[in-house]
Amino acid sequence: MELLVAADSIFYKTPDQKYWCKTIYGYNFWMRYLSAFEGVVIVSRTSPASYSEVEGYLRVDGPNVRVSELPFMRGMKQYLMNYFSFSKAAKKAVENAECALIRLPSVSSEMVLKYYQRKGKPYAIEVVADPYDAYASSKIAQIMYTKKLKSAALQANGVSYVTKFYLQDKYPSNAALNGETNQYFESYFSTIDLKESYFTTPKVFNAEKKQFTIIHTANSINNDLKGHGTVIKALKKIREKQIDANVIFIGDGSRRSYYEQMSREMGVEEYVTFTGLLASAEKVREILINGDIFLFPTKAEGLPRAVIEAMAVGLPVLSTPVNGIPELLDKEFMFDPLDVDGFVNKLYYLFNDLSKMEEMSKQNIKKAKEYSNDKLSVRRKSFYSKLRALTESTKIREKS
């Protein structure tokens, strides 16, 4: 049986008809669905690309994993302008599907869901973020997609969440409200893939340490949702307190030049490094290991894999009380995304109390191990298997 998966991803197709992505959604990501299904077809926005344009990217398709293309577009304006062509592609993508999993929130996935629901076939959704925060820049989109997700969670046969509590409370499933059955079921698991080899031992800081590296990770620097501006402002203030600190930003995007200019204007340019896009988890891990603290003033998340990855290598973490993050961090390590002084004061305190940072390192590794692949894979397989079993029983009923 083949599972159709609609995701908010962007793929690039080279002339040899192979598909590539910048990060995360490589072939290994989609293999998780093969634990319960013989094949996976990914419905995703796709753009043609030359071989040189995808250098360093991750290969998406492979054995038992193929791609069904949607038109390439970004932003609500482009969706509206190309609504009919996109709608046509979404409708075609679900024509032969008999079982589906829709990753939400996503404008493109919502379109696929709309046409798939008309088939009356079993499906599940994976709730990976809160649209109320993800679409905060547009009040109309915020209201519309929050409403859509509430409806989708009630209608779907299966619902999984990346959080343990937060998203479940806000977007309850049919199973949560009426009890779990073979037809309606629920689970939770992060999208992260942390192998045991990823974890490190807790950090030990030299008592004479005077230089500190602050790390921040975001796949895309296309807006300030991940708090790049707050990090740069915090760096300026912590240096004014005579702390020798620097920042490494992992990731790339259209707003990178904006933040580079901000660094220059604030006089901290020589202490800020942008690595650009790092496609492999190994390269990201290497930088994280060599850092001293992870600063992530994000405004919108589900359960951020960036934070869990930083915790797994023993980095102390400061972030925000957004969505699922309170499930990872204690209250004293979370501040409002715009509270520059709050972050600065905590950084100053920690850089002057290395024993506290060592304690945070130990606790963070312990917490991150709750999200190791061997633990999550069990819940994932159980959830996907329930969806398959429901599909098979539905087919039997339809034939009888």
What are phi and psi for residue 301, nearest 5 degrees? -155, 170
User: By CB neighbour count within 10 A (0-12 exposed, 13-18 middle, 19+ buried), where does 147 fall?
Assistant: exposed
Distance, in Å, from the CA atom of 197 to the CA atom of 170, rounded to the nearest integer, reads 35
Q: Which two tokens stand for residue 329?
A: 């961090």
Res 81: pLDDT? 78
Q: Is the pTM of this model over 0.85?
A: yes
Res 357: pLDDT? 97
Res 398: pLDDT? 84
Distance, in Å, from the CA atom of 18 to the CA atom of 71, rounded to the nearest integer, reads 16
Q: Which two tokens stand for residue 124?
A: 């599940």
pLDDT bucket at 279, cuts 50 / 70 / 90: low
Res 101: pLDDT? 98
Distance, in Å, from the CA atom of 208 to the CA atom of 210, rounded to the nearest integer, reads 6
Least confident of 157-161, 234-238, 280-284, 321-325: 280-284
| Contact (CB, 8 A) for 91 and 67 | no
Distance, in Å, from the CA atom of 107 to the CA atom of 99, rounded to the nearest integer, reads 20
Mean pLDDT of the chain: 94
23 SS3 class: coil
Region 269-273: mean pLDDT is 97
Phi-psi region at 189: left, alpha or beta (left = phi > 0; alpha = psi -120 to 50): beta
Q: Which two tokens stand for residue 101?
A: 């999993």
**More confident: 301 or 50:** 50
Q: What secondary structure letter does DSSP report for 309?
A: H
Distance, in Å, from the CA atom of 156 to the CA atom of 125, rounded to the nearest integer, reads 7
pLDDT by residue (tens digit) across 347-387?
999 999 999 999 999 999 999 999 999 899 999 999 999 99
Phi-psi region at 67: left, alpha or beta (left = phi > 0; alpha = psi -120 to 50): beta
Distance, in Å, from the CA atom of 65 to the CA atom of 117, rounded to the nearest integer, reads 23
CA distances from 228 to 191, 232, 301 (A): 23, 6, 15
DSSP per-residue letters across 259-297: HHHHHHHTT-GGGEEE-B---SHHHHHHHHHT-SEEE--
DSSP per-residue letters across 248-264: EEEEE-TTHHHHHHHHH
Superfamily of domain 196-370: Glycogen Phosphorylase B; (3.40.50.2000)
pLDDT by residue (tens digit) across 226-237?
999 999 999 999
Distance, in Å, from the CA atom of 171 to the CA atom of 117, rounded to the nearest integer, reads 19
Distance, in Å, from the CA atom of 122 to the CA atom of 99, rounded to the nearest integer, reads 6
**More confident: 300 or 171:** 171
Could you state, in order of their start, the residue ranges of all structural domains in the chain? 2-193+373-399, 196-370
Domain topology for 2-193+373-399 = Rossmann fold (3.40.50)
Distance, in Å, from the CA atom of 312 to the CA atom of 203, rounded to the nearest integer, reads 11
| Contact (CB, 8 A) for 217 and 298 | no
Peptide bond into 337 cis (omega under 30): no
Residue 306: name the closest of 394, 225, 208 by CA. 225
94 SS3 class: coil
pLDDT over 80 at 254, yes or no: yes
**Residues in Cβ contact with 280 at an 8 Å cutoff, skipping those fewer than 6 apart:** none
